Structure 1
Amino acid sequence: MKTALKMPFLAALVLSMSACQTFTKKEAVNAEYIPREVLFGNPDITGIKISPDGKYVAYLSAHKGVLNIWVQDFGKPETAKPVTHDTKRGIFRYNWTYTPGTLIFSQDVAGDENFGLYTLNVATGDLNEITKPGKVTSQIAETSHLRPNEVVIMTNERDPRFFDYKILNLATKATTDLFTNTENYAGIIFDKNYHPILASKSNKDGSSTIFLWNSANKKFVKKTVVPFEDSMTSTAVDVSHDGSKVYLLDSRQRDKAALVEWDLKSDKTKVVASDDRSDIQGLQMHPQTGKLLWASSYYLKRDIQFFDKDFQKHFESIEKKLDAEVNVTSMSLDGNQWVLFADSTDKPVAFYFYDVKTQTLSQPLYHTKAMIPYGHRLSAMEAVEIPSRDGFQLVSYLTQARKQAGKSMVLLVHGGPWGRDDYGYNPYHQWLADRGYNVLSVNFRASTGFGKKFLNAGDKQWGRKMHDDLIDAVNWAVKNGYADPNEVVIMGGSYGGYAALAGLTFTPDTFAAAVDIVGPSNLETLLNTVPPYWESFRANLYKRVGDPTTAAGKKLLKERSPLTHVNKIKKPLLILQGANDPRVKKAEADQIYNAMVAKKIPVEYVLFPDEGHGFAKAANNMGANALTEEFLQKYLKGRLEPIEAHVKASSAQVITTPQ
């Protein structure tokens, strides 16, 4: 199943089909604010996955304060027990295999993203380390009901830049080579029999070449080239179980990426789904038959095109009953048991089980039970279109505070930049709105999902037209009465952190303050220190941001780096950084901090020694948000929950000397 279904966090809950959650005590409701613990603490239960045979249900829940995998017999919540016992970082990624009762999960070391793989038999508790975390990274590449005792894994152990593919025998735990990637392919797709079907390779001009497997010669043969302009809006996403058809998201000969079915026997293609306003972004297939069930696109809100009438009947009936956007997040192999995620912008996150045969929908199950008493205080999100100064429509999302602190607003900028903001429940929007701030998230140019013209319009526009879009959105908010021009803070993570720094340097009079979360300050050092396994994306990255190997590229990168313009900063800055971040190194935060200290410009810098690119641990996430909340209260005068307990419980280190 391949989808682009949006999830604000790992989601789903596990109980029997007829069960509902019980509440053993009455939670005290805070009259002033929704507590951070409710918004950002460990969920009661999340990440639900039904085993393929329908015998078990697995999920993530805290065990001794740390997120671990729990398992229960399906329909028997009284059998639930933790099957992992991590005491440090927690576990966030896992999958069922098709070997009965066997899970495979990954874990890194303190956020370094060098993931190791582990298998676990939930009946016996047998736990095996397959690849070691910390030095190389490994991922699950494919599982198949046609080869139930094996999975395909990928690892960069041989060459840190590129991934080899191996078959893991789940009984013996031995691995055998499936494909040794000496040709440096960016990615390889296999069918459900683990036969290679298609590969892609990045070229120096930013284009990519698609290769098809020649079974007679046992090698990949060049088939076609995807031009640079289509390189981020065209990709192979799935193959039929027998490998005879490839499904592509393809923007060639069009602006918006369509879902295209490529019949490899006849070498003919046909458009299966398209949308005039946005790219097709996801598809879902039946896990056993491989039949295409739906394809989805996303402009202001999600649209679905169905390809199975029975599935459509069940799905539309459920959405009508729940009056919410519904996603199917897990299915049994036979497709008869579903887990549903119901997404409403201003309701507590709810999950459901659905039985296809009996058409039974369970009672709502809640990601965070403590949110229920605060449900009436959540704020609705509005989907809006904001015109840019040069004619684009910027799909944006506005959440207004019920009890405003003046006319203050937080411009919350997404990361990537090749990602997007969506319509739906957003804990950060709810948190900031609850504290008294209107919140605006903008899909600036380079955001994905709106066609290649809009995405490519962001090329080499960091700190320029991409930033202009954000400023146009602020001006729109001021003009329409959503913000006082003197009471706007810019905040974001990753690219959003860069945007926060750009806000203080390139437009020093626009924002009252900025919050930079793991954001780059020096684009040249950023591009020179990307993880080695990003090698296949390097040429594309250079063409879209700037090339640090050329004089012209270095000049552009220096010009667009906030560090270069640090002397222009007039407003307060809060920096939050993970010490082990492999994408935006700690040096990015150090450089801007050191420069500000040297120029005696006020700055606050907080380092989390056990985190990477963002804050995975609930205690650290709450600590970072507590510090952010205090910072915002200083300059926007909103409501403030006491911060001492959450900061103390986190690993936060306040930096006071040059690094």
Structure 2
Amino acid sequence: MRTTQLSCLLLLLLVYACDRPADMAEEENEIETYTIEQFMNTEQIGGSAFSPDESKVMYSSKKTGIYNAYEIPVNGGEATQLTDSDSESVFAYSYFPEDERILFSSDKGGNEINHLFVKNLNGEITDLTPDSTAKAQFMGWASDNQSLYYASNSRNPQAFDVYELSIDQIDDVENSVAAYQPKMLFENDGRFYPGPISEDRKYMALTESITRQKVNMYLQNLETGETTMLNDGEDEVAYSPQYFSKDGSKLFFLSDKDSEFTYLSSYDLGSGEITKVEEAPWDIMYAYLSENGKYRVVGINNDARTEIKVYDETSGEQVSLPEMPDAEITSVNISDSEKLMAFYVNSSTSPNNLYVYNFETGEYTQLTDTMNPEIDEADLVEGEVVRYTSFDGMEIPAILYKPKVIAEGEKAPAMLWIHGGPGGQSRLGYSALIQYLVNHGYAIFAVNNRGSSGYGKTFFSADDQRHGQDDLQDVVEGKAYLTSLDMIDSTKIGIMGGSYGGYMTLAALAFEPEVFDVGVDIFGVSNWLRTLKSIPPWWGAARESLYNEMGNPETDSAMLYNKSPLFFADQITKPLLVLQGANDPRVLKVESDEIVEKVEANDVPVEYVIFEDEGHGFLKKDNQIEGYQAILEFLNQYLKEEEPVEASL
């Protein structure tokens, strides 16, 4: 299956620095503060796909305020906008294999019911998956370039079946010749998530989630319909199929069998022999082959950083990649000819930029410059990975951002940032919100409490069925760590986060009401009983795994009640800001409505910002500007205790 996946100048500067007056030097060392509009005018981009002739790369950009598809020449130049949506975000997947039609995905207002669309050469757009109630996911192009694979829950809302749709059928739809019937390759009984498909269309890999620590792996024979489990099903091991060998004889997969971290192995479909291929002292996150199998790409989660390795499969040697000091390479995509590689580079102080590397010449070209030119990167702050000891001796990793605008001898207010999930991870990379708050004088402490991914399976499972308890104490100890730092004002420390991090914010305010001074809840769970009963239907295959981790609302109702902040909201005494998307299918708006109502009844300051056209996460730039500015103004008023000022225009 094919997937989409200066020395003279320096001398002059030194001479200038020596000649200029001391007061000028001090003035130039001052850190400029920036508005949220300036931060959000940094272009957000992602994804990459080569055109059939490999002369251009397509990507998604929020340049217009909402994501649209763009293309740019591989040798550099001006980008061309390919879609012009002004209401729904467009996420570009791929050009067609043999022409420049484009395939993309979009939903409605953040409801996550994504459809697949094709933009014709004449500019017209066709919905390939028109069922308004069904979610579709692109799975790649067939090896002969004549059809594509996708998964859809149209037949059963709780199960993703797998379909093949030929380009001839797409042509019929575009020309309104006739209704089409895509070929169903796999009818899912609801237990499985579909994985990679072999190049000969004979096999597909499947996974079955029992718990987070136990994920079974299967081989589906697409010709006979036979389903075969590839592991013994007894061990607490998480399997993740990655790709088939080009000849279809082996399945390559990740697992953590007999290891704290996931590593890459191969399964011989003929003999059943398993061979370890690559391991690291961290989790291998993914692995895949280039189109003709020349290169293997491996991504490693190296202490909250992405480490990319590319191997020549013939020699087994690692390929040298461009050196990017103080930044990391991510999202590698190798062209079909295997001559070019698109990739992204970013850091804490630098947003995503798209590059193309030529394997034959060793040269690379930066295609985008996304940082707002009004912002001096020297004013921004690099994240620093630190560790502290929690209540039971467990070591907790975190990322600390120290504001540069705090003068020597002054102390900074601080906010703990709690990631989503559960099971997510705060990582080193550019965040406009974090840089905005740090630029305005707040230290940010991004805690990777127990239950976070990336630090081994023991750490990952350490909060199972103890959410809002042990992980919350990790956060409380994080505050204690901050207070030990001379630069932090221990009387002005708050907590914030999104999704599960929003829940942790509410839990901290409700269950540890004297620890934090303010809270910012971004679409967080307040009532686990309701949330676990109302999870989106397309999560059906993972429902039991989620229940095993969090608790079952039917059998563990007392436990879930006792960890739900909504039922203990009378204990919340500190100011609270809540942000919520009205169309959120994961954390329903009622979760925020009710916690706001309950806290208001305590005569506690509460502010509530609702975005009617957003879901679980805010994608539109105008909404991000409004929401992020509301956060800063709230913190200035209730943490810094400054007088409120009028919002900027």
Query: Which TM-score bucket, shorter chain as reference?
Result: 0.7 to 0.9
Mapped contact 2:249–2:268 kept (Cα < 8 A): yes
User: Distance between the aligned counterparts of 2:646 and 2:257, measured in 1?
Assistant: 51
* 1:365 and 2:365 aligned: no
> Could you tell me how far 1:290 is from its partner in structure 2?
6.0
Counterpart CA distance in 1 for 2:535 and 2:473 is 26
TM superposition score normalised by structure 1: 0.86
Asked if the contact 2:77–2:367 (Cα under 8 Å) also holds between the matched residues in 1, the reply is no
Q: 1:327 offset after TM fit, Å? A: 2.8
1:530 Cα deviation (Å)? 0.3
Q: Secondary structure at the match of 1:172?
A: helix
For the residues of structure 2 that align with 1:543 and 1:330, how far apart are their CA atoms? 36
Deviation at 1:336, TM superposition (A): 1.5
* Distance verdict in 2 for CA 1:548–1:360, change over 3 Å: same
Which residue number corresponds to residue 407 of structure 1? 412
The aligned runs of 1:100-499 (5 Å cut-off) are 100-121=99-120, 123-132=121-130, 134-144=132-142, 146-173=143-170, 174-189=180-195, 190-203=197-210, 207-214=214-221, 217-226=224-233, 229-231=236-238, 234-276=239-281, 278-289=282-293, 291-299=295-303, 301-303=305-307, 307-308=311-312, 315-316=320-321, 318-319=322-323, 322=325, 324-327=327-330, 329-347=332-350, 349-363=352-366, 365-370=368-373, 373-404=375-406, 406-499=411-504
AA aligned to 1:254 is S
Q: Tell me if the contact between 2:254 and 2:284 (Cα under 8 Å) persists in the aligned partners.
A: yes
Q: 1:45 to 1:209 in 2, by over 3 A?
A: closer
What secondary structure, in the 3-state scheme, does the structure 2 residue paired with 1:419 have?
Answer: coil
Distance 1:98 1:412, change over 3 A: same
Aligned partners of 1:380 and 1:581: how far apart in 2?
A: 32
1:565 to 565, 568, 573: 568
Q: Alpha-carbon deviation of 1:295?
A: 4.5
Q: Secondary structure at the match of 2:199?
A: coil
- The answer to whether the 8 A contact 1:328-1:338 is kept is no
SS at 1:485's partner residue? strand
The equivalent position to 2:585 in structure 1, one of 557, 582, 586, is 582
Aligned-pair CA distance for 1:451: 1.5
Over 3 Å counting, the alpha-carbon distance change for 1:590 and 1:290 in structure 2 is farther
Query: What is the CA distance between 1:588 and its match in structure 2?
Result: 0.6
1:649 corresponds to which residue? none
Q: Distance in 2 between matches of 1:295 and 1:62?
A: 26
Paired with 1:94 and 1:576, the residues of 2 have a C-alpha distance of 30
Query: Does the 8 A contact of 1:435 with 1:638 survive in 2?
Result: no
Of 288-297 and 350-359, more deviation after overlay is shown by 288-297
Decide whether aligned partners of structure 1 residues 457 and 643 sit closer, same or farther in structure 2, where only a CA change above 3 A counts: farther
Task: Give 1:188's aligned amino acid.
Answer: P
**8 Å Cα contact 1:112/1:134 also seen in 2:** no
1:50 maps to: 50
* Residues 246 and 466 of structure 1, relative CA distance in 2, 3 Å threshold: same
CA contact (8 A) 1:33 1:639 kept: no
CA distance in 2, matches of 1:398, 1:336: 40
Q: What is the match of residue 71 of structure 1?
A: 71
For the 8 Å contact 1:45–1:61, the answer to whether it is kept is yes
**What is the number of equivalent residue pairs in this alignment?**
610
Does the aligned pair in 2 maintain the 1:297–1:304 contact within 8 Å? no
The equivalent residue for 1:15 is none
Q: What are structure 2's unaligned runs of at least 5 residues?
A: 6-29, 171-179
Residue type of the alignment partner of 1:630: E
After TM superposition, give the deviation of residue 504 of structure 1 in Å: 0.5
Aligned pair in 2 of structure 1 residues 394, 583: CA closer, same or farther (>3 Å)?
A: same
Q: What code does the residue aligned with 1:70 have?
A: Y
Task: Return the offset for 1:364.
Answer: 6.8
Query: Which residue identity lines up with residue 137 of structure 2 in the other structure?
Result: Q
Partner residue, 1:11: none
CA shift in 2, pair 1:475/1:44, >3 Å: closer
Q: Which amino acid aligns with 2:104?
A: F
Q: CA deviation at 1:531?
A: 0.1
Once residues 302 and 642 of structure 2 are traced to their aligned partners in structure 1, the CA distance between those partners, rounded to angstroms, is: 34
Residue 563 of structure 1 deviates from its aligned partner by: 0.9
Q: Is the 8 A contact 2:508 2:516 kept in 1?
A: yes
Aligned to 2:36: 36
- Aligned counterpart, 2:25: none
**1:269 shift after superposition:** 1.0
Contact kept in structure 2, 1:152 and 1:166, CA below 8 Å: yes
1:602 maps to: 605
- More moved, 238-247 vs 282-291: 282-291
Q: What is the CA-CA distance between 1:142 and the residue it aligns to?
A: 2.3
Secondary structure in 2 matching 1:366: coil
2:211, 2:544 within 8 Å by CA — same for their partners in 1?
A: yes
Deviation string 1:299-349 (CA, Å, 9 cap, x unpaired) is 254445553388977534x116x5532235333212222223222333455
Alpha-carbon distance in 2 for matches of 1:222, 1:59: 38
1:257-298 CA distances to partner (integer Å, 9 max, x unpaired)? 22122222221112222233x322232432332642434242
Shift in Å at residue 443 of structure 1?
Answer: 1.0
1:508 to 1:370, Cα distance in 2 relative to 1, 3 A? same
The code of the aligned residue for 2:167 comes to L
Change (3 A) 1:484 1:252: same
Whether 2:527 is the aligned partner of 1:522: answer yes
Q: 1:238 to 1:388 in 2, by over 3 A?
A: farther
- For residues 44-84 of structure 1, the C-alpha deviation after alignment (integer angstroms, 9 at most, x for no partner) is 76544322530332233457654321235554746x53322
Shift of the 46–524 alpha-carbon distance from structure 1 to 2, 3 Å rule, reads: closer
Once the two structures are superposed, residues 58-115 of structure 1 have per-residue CA deviations (whole angstroms, 9 ceiling, x without a partner) of 233457654321235554746x533222121231343334232132111111110011
CA shift for structure 1 position 569: 0.8
One-letter identity of the residue aligned with 1:115: N
Within 2, Cα distance between the matches of 1:614 and 1:134? 21
Q: Which moved more, 1:179-188 or 1:576-585?
A: 179-188
What fraction of aligned residue pairs are identical, expressed as a percent? 28
CA deviations over 1:140-185 (Å, ceiling 9, x no partner): 02224x2212110111111000011111222331442233424224
The letter for the 1-side match of 2:90 is: I
Within 1, Cα distance between the matches of 2:390 and 2:548? 24
Classify the secondary structure of the residue corresponding to 1:408: strand
Mean Cα displacement is larger for which, 193-202 or 159-168? 193-202
